[in-house]
Amino acid sequence: MDLGLRDRVCVVTGSTGGIGLATARLLAAEGARVVVTGRDPARLEAARVDSGAELALEADFSEPAAPERVLSQAADELGPVTVLINNVGLAYQADFLEVADREWDEFWQLNVMSHVRAIRAAVPAMRAAGGGSIVNVSSTAGKRPSTGMPHYSVTKAAVLSLSRLVADLYAKDGIRCNAVTPGPTATEAWLGKGGLADQQAARSGQDRQTVLESVGAGRPLGRLAEPEEIAAVIAFLCSERASYVTGASWSADGGTVPIIV
């Protein structure tokens, strides 16, 4: 199926691994002109080569000026950005009573304000181009809070509200905005050393493999998602095939959250 993304300039934030990298690969395979971003120069260059992206821009999206700089540079080098995927984010487990104000602010800046700033930078060019598509990567924890990740859950819920707000504000300009809510996914965030599986194992007293098996079994489909499965939903929402979809929050969670919205 042709998604109608050929030659569209697409910026994917947080795309040196996991869902972001899988999304960049898929968009590039569809003929889009993809921009990958990340903080680590070596990983960023590897992601550019791996994905087939045309441009790789080093950026720390927790810094207020980074989103506008990335969107501006992408436009200068490739043309108007008409697709934006806000994927960058931070997650780790913690006890609610032990999360300091500094940590709440850290999560807010990266998980929410980076999206706000990137959208703010993208909208004028999308308006001028007659439309565009924005996809924000939220989480099942945004729909049903995870008690083990309080600041992550609250910020991911804010991403859902932001997505609906932007959809309502700019639909008349032909700009669509949707959110995707993945469940646990087989990425470095879960599987990497010191990642969520190791953190949960340390908190529960279980071994890492038992944790992963339990988390997978907790989904109705009985397993973690693969990043490519989430990327497929994102690419569809970016595409002309989803031209009548805006303001939606699409669950891609193997049935994890037992609601129909």
Q: What are the tokens at 148?
A: 């083990």
| DSSP summary character for residue 251 | E
Check residue 261 and give its pLDDT: 62
Q: Which helix (H) or strand (E) holds 132?
A: strand 132-137
Judge whether 176 and 242 are in contact, CB under 8 Å: yes
Q: Which residue numbers in the chain have pLDDT < 50? A: none
Q: Per-residue pLDDT tens for 41-99? A: 999 999 999 999 999 999 999 999 999 999 999 999 999 999 999 999 999 999 999 99
Residues labelled catalytic: 152
What is the predicted pLDDT for the residue at 165? 98
Confidence at residue 1, expressed as pLDDT on a 0 to 100 scale: 77
Q: Side chain identity at 88, as an amino acid letter?
A: V
Spell out the domains of the chain, with CATH numbers in brackets.
Answer: 9-183+226-252 (3.40.50.720), 186-224 (no CATH)
Residues in contact with 160: Cβ distance below 8 Å, sequence separation at least 6, in sequence order: 138, 142, 143, 179, 181, 249
